[in-house]
Amino acid sequence: MSFNGFLVIDKPAGYSSHQVVAKVRKILNERRVGHTGTLDPMATGVLVVAVGFCTKLIPFLDEQKKVYQAKLVIGLTTDTQDLSGRVVSAQPETAVTQEMMRAALSNFTGELEQTPPMYSAVKVQGEPLYKLARAGKEIPRKKRKITIFRLEVVDNLRPVYGFQEGPYLRIECSRGTYIRTLCHELGAYLGCGGCMGDLVRLASGPFRLGKAVSLDELQKAMEQAEVASLLLSPAEALAHLPLVTLDQQSAKLVRHGGRVYLQSKDALQESELARGMTTDGRLLAILKYVGGEKPYWQPVRVLDQ
């Protein structure tokens, strides 16, 4: 049986994102499987996995906003910026007051610049940084612009935090934000150092942890022929895009890469994307709006379904 759609996997700790993809491939006996954004091996939570022809739709998903819950550990810095790494410095006499913590958190919201950690999948001249880091090398990295939309403490702040203590944080941020680095920088701002403890991704765009399934649950669903009930359809996953309904003639043109002169129900901007849906409700293509005297839709991705 062939599967097409999106799975929201609750990634277990200790698995890399690629290992989860390999596991899903094996369970579903499907070669076309890919994840939409890396989650650190020690982290748990939302990992969106595309299956079948939906791997072609990964670039069009709306996953610009992420939500995490992370444990901030103060008084300790490591080479990986989390508890899995080698300790670089420790300050056992650390004492951070409630007021100090509030000031630090308020300093790390809005548009910021962040340097990717050496232990990351970012590539420099084709080489992942983590491979260089494991070889004991450190190279200059370009800062990246990120946005922290919201940064708050999950529970009430304690009066004082000591060595290797710290609050759980809820972070709403832009894609590409490293929560390990945020914890490291919070520790530096507090003057005692810091790193990340536990990390859970609660949401990636519209994909939420409450809708996620474990690998064991996926295996059980496969054995009971219930995988289809776990898959989000491409139309659901791309619901943020405006809708263009294609009649039989227009659908035929789109299948062969031809443009169609149609009007959308929505006001559109040049190069805006839309879902090209057939009259029976199937997603046929991703279309790009081209304005001018005779505006038209140009297919940029046609699905082989």
Quick one: 120 and 72 in the same domain? yes
Q: Identify the CA nearest to 153 among candidates 193, 103, 114, 80.
A: 103
Quick one: 113 and 194 in the same domain? yes
Quick one: 74 and 164 in the same domain? yes
Domain count, the chain: 3
pLDDT at res. 268 = 63
More confident residue, 133 or 185: 185
Which of the residue ranges 2-16, 124-138, 226-240 would you say has the lowest mean pLDDT? 124-138
Catalytic residue among 40, 155, 198, 266: 40
Distance CA 260, CA 287 (A): 10
Quick one: 88 and 143 in the same domain? yes
Question: 155: which DSSP letter?
Answer: S
Query: Strand order in 243-246's β-sheet?
Result: 243-246, 273-278, 283-290, 296-302
Across all residues in the chain, what is the average pLDDT?
92
Asked whether the beta carbons of 32 and 81 are under 8 A apart, the reply is no
The CATH number that applies at residue 246 is 2.30.130.10
217-275 residue pLDDT tens: 999 999 999 999 999 999 889 989 988 999 999 999 999 999 998 665 555 666 689 99
Distance CA 204, CA 68 (A): 9
Respond yes or no: is residue 40 known to be catalytic: yes
103-116 residue pLDDT tens: 999 999 999 999 98
Asked whether the beta carbons of 82 and 196 are under 8 A apart, the reply is yes
Asked whether the beta carbons of 250 and 274 are under 8 A apart, the reply is no
274-303 residue pLDDT tens: 999 999 988 999 999 988 778 899 999 998
pLDDT at res. 225 = 95
Quick one: 75 and 200 in the same domain? yes
Q: Which of 204, 220, 254 is the last residue of a domain?
A: 204
Quick one: 140 and 199 in the same domain? yes
Place of tokens 């294609």: 246
Quick one: 12 and 102 in the same domain? no
* Rg (alpha carbons) of the chain, rounded to whole number: 23
Q: Which of 191, 218, 236 is the last residue of a domain?
A: 236
pLDDT at res. 154 = 94
Quick one: 120 and 217 in the same domain? no
* DSSP string for 236-258: HHTTTSPEEEE-HHHHHHHHTT-
The CATH number that applies at residue 112 is 3.30.2350.10
Strand-pairing partners, residue 111, are: 147
Asked whether the beta carbons of 72 and 186 are under 8 A apart, the reply is yes
Distance CA 144, CA 58 (A): 22
Contacts of 190 (CB under 8 A, 6+ apart): 74, 96, 100, 101, 104
Confidence band, pLDDT 50/70/90 cuts, at residue 304:
low
Quick one: 69 and 200 in the same domain? yes
pLDDT at res. 271 = 67
Quick one: 177 and 198 in the same domain? yes
pLDDT at res. 127 = 83
pLDDT at res. 119 = 85
Quick one: 104 and 211 in the same domain? no
Quick one: 157 and 266 in the same domain? no
Place of tokens 């097409």: 4
Place of tokens 């494991």: 134
For residue 162, give its domain range. 65-204
